[in-house]
Amino acid sequence: MSAARPVAPPAGAPAPAELLEIRTIVRRVIASRVRDSHMVDDLVQETLAKVLTAWGRIDPDTAIPYAIATARNVVASTWRHLDTTERNLHRVVDLLPADRPEDAVLDREEGDAVATALTHLPDRDRALLVAHDVEGRELAELARESSTSPGALAAQLKRTRARLRVEYLLAMDHREPPTPQCRPVLLALSGGDRRRQRELDVSGHLLACPYCADLGRPLSQRASDGTSTRIAVGADADVVLARQTGRDVAISLGFSATDGTVIATAISEVTRNIVKFAGTGEVRIGRLQEPARCGLLVVARDAGPGISDVDLALRDGHSTYGGLGLGLPGCRRLMDEFVVESESGRGTTVTMRKWRSTGGPGGR
Amino acid sequence: MLVSILRQGDYLLASINAALDDSEMRRFQEALVERIGDERCRGVIIDVAALDVLDSYAAATLGSLADMARLRGAETVVVGVSPEIAFTMVQLGMSIPHVHTALDLEQGLQVLGRLTSPLPPPRP
Ligand SMILES: [Zn+2]
């Protein structure tokens, strides 16, 4: 494969932090679809190689959706390949030929998706995108030609890229959005427009619509608005992302390593419940600041079937699946405040708070 | 590699090298139980030092792994539980049932040595 050759990174190579972020997301996407860890490693490497090879050609703004789409394709083609050869997946990974004929097909599929996405843009937007991102013309020059300001064009470009991301994901997915709300919701998500997101009740829609929850994840897998970080939850791998984010936030707020583990464990339990019982939902992690103390807030929400008897679910030993029955009751012991609100058929919200003990950073 | 399983004498040494999600944990359990039968080994050491948390699911999975291993003739010792995880598990009121624990690999091997005394010589 061409990517196996050492290639000097082009001028537009990703920064290390960016590469790390892409790598984390790619791993999550693949790990949620493939169980064998060796195969996950192989597919992550393969995906990153493809993304890096294409780096010069992709807009940095679309790098993450591009990486996610590539990861999905790599997994899909591997499954197709393995399906026909052997059922015992983890044993045949090594037998995969290094260079597969599907690769050409996949590259074409991605190209087609970008082309389809471009046709969905209004002419004016497409012309601007091509002039600036493809032909490399300066905004100032383009602004003079159309007698507008570079600032206005920059805003238009930002909206257009957000739209292209959505159209690209829709084109790669081959499914029709189930409701007329879906496209505007995904657009608001992609553009990061908070006012529009509130108008459309984007978080409500994401909780109720599995299609948008799935497609929207790359657009907002881990979105931070300065006060809290939101993690979209829809697969086992998201449980790990949520608890690791929780630990990172806790440590950044001065919690001890032990408290970091305590908080990560509680987040793991409540996030797992979302995946098990509701399928999709979200976890928000934020800081609490009061005059005398500082702490961490976790809100886990879903629109699933709900818990019919919260008191029973919180009793030690009660478990409706294979755990030890310590999930929710355990969380109550781990955190300082723990509230479950649930209504049958309307979903569940778990709110947890942990306060940092006084005595300086790192103190217990 | 997220996990590695190596054979050493009569024992299998399994290391978890990163945070695992539930599917990965389950896959690890299946792979290890399969290896115990394939290799006809008498003891298993599982090093969990790199796990980020040991929550109810991970503990239940390790517990049932040990039960399955025992049914296949092998004892299981978990090593590398960090102080943070130990604290959390105690606060959770959680233990890993039927699983022996030891501080590190060296102590784990000693525990296994005691648990799996040599088989009596076959009768003539
Ligand atoms: Zn939708």
Residue A84: which CATH number? 3.30.565.10
Whether residues A179 and A278 share a domain: the answer is no
- Residue A13, pLDDT > 70, answer no
Specify the pLDDT at position B124. Answer: 63
B60–A316: do the CB atoms touch at under 8 Å? no
The enclosing domain of A128 has a CATH number of 1.20.140
A326: nearest CB among B20, B83, B94: B94
Q: pLDDT tens for residues A59-94?
A: 766 777 778 778 877 877 776 555 444 333 332 222
Its CATH class, for the domain covering B3-112, is: alpha beta
Residues in A closer than 8 angstroms to B91, CB to CB, are 262, 333-334
- Partner-chain contact B53 A243, CB within 8 Å: yes
**Residue A340 sits in the same domain as residue A229:** yes
A270, A228: one domain? yes
Contact assignment for A37 to B59 by CB distance below 8 Å: no
Give the pair of three-digit tokens for residue A360: 């300086």
Tens-digit pLDDT profile for residues A199-234? 998 888 888 888 888 787 767 655 555 567 888 888
**Mutate which of B4, B55, B64 to disrupt the A interface (most A C-beta within 10 Å)?**
B55
Residue A303 has a pLDDT of: 85
Phi and psi, residue A301, nearest 5°: -130, 145
pLDDT for res A116:
80
Looking at A170, A185, A215, which one is the last position of a domain? A215
Q: Write the DSSP assignment of A305-322 as a string of letters.
A: S--S-HHHHTSTT--SSS
DSSP letter string over A184-242? HHHHHHHHT-HHHHHHTTHHHHHHH-HHHHHHHHHHHTEEE-SSEEEEEE-SHHHHHHH
- Cα of A188 vs centre of ligand 1, distance in Å, is 12
CA A184 to chain B, closest CA, distance in angstroms equals: 33
Q: Is the pLDDT of residue A281 over 60?
A: yes
CA of A183 to the centre of ligand 1 (A): 7
Six token digits for residue A227: 């006060």
Which residue blocks in B1-124 are alpha helix, DSSP H? 22-39, 56-71, 83-92, 105-115
Task: Report the pLDDT value the prediction gives residue A4, as an integer from 0 to 100.
Answer: 42
Q: Worst-scoring range by mean pLDDT, A178-192, A219-233, A236-250, A264-278?
A: A219-233
* Cβ–Cβ pairs < 8 A, chains A and B: 101
- CB within 5 A of ion ligand 1: which residues? A 182, 209, 211-212
State in Å: Cα A179 to ligand 1 middle. 6
| pTM of the predicted model as reported, rounded to 2 decimal places | 0.60
Identify the residue among B1, B15, B20, B23 best suited for mutation to test binding to A, counting A beta carbons within 10 A and taking the highest: B23
Q: Does the pLDDT value for residue B87 go beyond 70? A: yes
Q: Look-up: residue for tokens 């940095």?
A: A60
A13 domain residue, yes or no: yes
Quickly list DSSP for B16-36: E-S---HHHHHHHHHHHHHHH
Task: Read off the pLDDT of residues B1-29 as tens digits, 9 standing for 90 and up.
Answer: 678 889 988 999 999 988 898 988 998 99
The pLDDT score that the predictor gives to residue A120 is 84
Task: Over range A231-239, report the average pLDDT.
Answer: 87
Residue A363 domain-assigned (yes or no): no
Q: Could B93 and A244 be called an inter-chain contact, meaning their C-beta atoms sit closer than 8 Å? A: no
Same domain, A205 and A328: no
ipTM of model? 0.92
Number of domains in chain A: 2
Of A190, A215, A240, the residue at which a domain comes to its end is A215
- In this prediction, residue A151 carries a pLDDT of 85
Question: Length of chain A in residues, anyone?
Answer: 364
CA of A206 to the centre of ligand 1 (A): 7
Answer for the pair A218, A169: CB distance below 8 angstroms, yes or no. Answer: yes
Q: Compute the mean pLDDT over every residue in chain B, rounded to the nearest whole number.
A: 89
Find the chain B residues whose C-beta atoms sit closer than 8 A to any C-beta of A: 1-3, 19-24, 26-28, 31, 52-57, 59-60, 63, 82-85, 87-88, 91-94
Residue-range definition of the domain harbouring residue A39: 3-89+221-357
Residue A95 lies in a domain: no
Query: Of A172, A188, A215, which residue constitutes the final position of a domain?
Result: A215
CA of A279 from ligand 1 middle (Å) equals: 15
Same domain, A225 and A83: yes
Write out chain A residues lying below 8 Å of B59, CB-based.
Answer: 324
The b/e string for A170-195 (b: 16+ C-beta within 10 A; e otherwise) is bbbeeeebeeebbbbbbbbbbbebee
**How close, in Å, is residue B20 to chain A by CA atoms?**
7
Element counts in chain A: helices (H) and strands (E): 16, 6
Q: Is residue A321 part of a domain?
A: yes
Nearest chain B CA: its distance from A197 CA (Å): 31
Instruction: Summarize pLDDT for A324-347 with one digit per residue, the tens.
Output: 445 778 888 899 999 988 888 788
Q: What is the pLDDT of residue A324?
A: 44
Q: Would the pLDDT of B32 be above 80?
A: yes
**Ligand 1 centroid vs A201 CA: distance in angstroms?**
11
Q: What is the pLDDT of residue A321?
A: 43
Q: Chain A: nearest CA to B4, how far in angstroms?
A: 9
- Residue A94 counted as domain residue: no
Chain B residues with CB-CB distance to A333 below 8 A: 91-93
Same domain, yes or no: A259 and A206: no
Q: What does the pLDDT read at residue A210?
A: 83
Q: Where are the domains of chain B?
A: 3-112
A345 and A299 housed in the same domain: yes
Q: Tell me, in angstroms, the distance from the centre of ligand 1 to residue A215's CA.
A: 9
Which stretches of chain A sit within 8 Å of chain B by CB? 31-32, 35-38, 40-41, 90, 236-237, 239-240, 243-244, 247, 257-258, 260-262, 264-265, 268-269, 272, 275, 316, 322-327, 330, 333-334
Is pLDDT of A2 > 50? no
Find, among A89, A106, A131, A102, the residue nearest to A51 by Cα.
Answer: A106
Nearest CA in chain B to A259: B84
Alpha-carbon distance A338 to nearest alpha carbon in chain B (angstroms):
14
Q: Are residues A251 and A210 in the same domain?
A: no
Q: Are residues A196 and A260 in the same domain?
A: no
Give yes or no: residues A133 and A195 share one domain. Answer: yes
